[in-house]
């Protein structure tokens, strides 16, 4: 594959999650699940490289790197900063995909900047960047847990009802990422946020 040299035409899409079988179908790993579907949709495949699994795609003249960090959630920033520097990718062409407890299940919220919202993966990226000004895509996992059971909830498996809703919500999320690359952040926010 010919790699684009114009940094404005290079993108890094990052799905956050934890590596290892025990985390596979957990709410905290929705970032991995979405980027897996995105890469499959664009007929790519992942290869294990430094600090994560990487897929390289061509989408409408853009070169897109898709990363699943292997650093575990709390050290996600290490992998993200490494690949951004290695491929000379501008921060506005980064999109970090993660779970969010403060959003209803299946709803999507895309923003150009924000706080970590208590999410350890986003917090580490923010610490490494020294700013919260980078695009992020939050997938709502809801908050159906008892007080003090937040960790158990995010590291828990999807319910049968949620699994069934995913059949529609994952392709919706894949389309939103493709839109971010081809139509830009603000158009994507207008079209996909809160839906």
Q: Is 175 annotated as a binding residue?
A: no
CB 26 within 8 A of CB 157: yes
- Cα–Cα distance between 13 and 80 in angstroms, integer? 9
Q: Is 192 annotated as a binding residue?
A: no
- The bridge status of strand 52-59 relative to strand 47-49 is antiparallel
CB 39 within 8 A of CB 53: no
Write out the DSSP string of 102-116: TS-TT-EEEESS---
Residue from 28, 42, 90, 119 carrying the catalytic annotation = 28
Q: Is 145 annotated as a binding residue?
A: no
Q: Is 72 annotated as a binding residue?
A: yes
The total of other beta-carbon atoms located within 10 Å of residue 9's CB is 14
Mark whether 119 is an active-site residue: no
Residue numbers in the known binding site are 23, 72, 74, 120
Known binding-site positions for tRNA? 23, 72, 74, 120
Active site residues: 28
């Amino acid at each position: 594959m010919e790699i684009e040299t114009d940094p404005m035409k290079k993108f890094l899409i990052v799905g956050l999650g934890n590596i290892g079988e025990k985390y596979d179908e957990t709410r905290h790993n929705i970032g991995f699940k979405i980027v897996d579907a995105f890469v499959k949709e664009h007929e790519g495949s992942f290869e294990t490289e430094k600090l994560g699994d990487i897929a390289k795609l061509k989408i409408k003249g853009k070169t897109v790197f898709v990363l699943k960090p292997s650093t575990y959630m709390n050290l996600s920033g290490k992998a993200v900063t490494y690949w951004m520097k290695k491929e000379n990718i501008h921060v506005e062409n980064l999109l970090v995909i993660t779970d969010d407890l403060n959003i209803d299940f299946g709803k999507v919220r895309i923003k150009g900047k924000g706080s970590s919202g208590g999410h350890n993966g986003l917090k580490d990226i923010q610490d490494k960047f020294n700013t919260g000004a980078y695009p992020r895509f939050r997938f709502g996992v809801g908050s159906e847990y008892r007080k003090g059971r937040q960790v158990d909830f995010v590291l828990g498996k999807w319910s049968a009802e949620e699994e069934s809703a995913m059949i529609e919500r994952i392709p919706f999320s894949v389309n939103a990422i493709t839109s971010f690359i081809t139509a830009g952040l603000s158009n994507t926010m207008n079209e996909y946020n809160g839906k």
